[in-house]
Amino acid sequence: MKNLKKVDCALLPPCSKTVRNKLQRAHFVSIVWGNAGSAHPDDELDPCDYGWQMKGGNYVPVWFSGPSVPCDLFEDEETTDVADQEVQNGTDDDVAEYEASNSGSEVEWNDDSGSEDEL
């Protein structure tokens, strides 16, 4: 962990779901611009079918759709309950052993992003 450098999360590539929504919005804009010579270039187009959603009377981008993590990432509830019970049944010796093994290895908290505008 000491060798990790700061990582700007904004530089990570987007996932396929995010890219799909961005491509849909770009496709919508290209259709509208392609029909710019007509009086109503967006006739018969629903922006909600192209990566936009209606919020408060305005269209806003759909940034992400679907679950953010895979379902199989988390253990099933039965396994988690057994693990929780084992932790609760731990002895004071286990806690002392853990604290002794981790003393002196305190790593200073390091923000992984230098970006000030992240939400």
The residue that leads in pLDDT, 61 or 1, is 61
Quote the pLDDT of residue 119: 47
CB 45 within 8 A of CB 32: yes
Q: Report the SS3 class of residue 94.
A: helix
Share the mean pLDDT of the chain.
74
The residues near 51 (Cβ < 8 Å, ≥ 6 apart) are 20, 21, 22, 23, 24, 25, 28, 61, 62
Quote the pLDDT of residue 42: 82
Quote the pLDDT of residue 6: 81
Q: Where are the domains of the chain?
A: 13-102
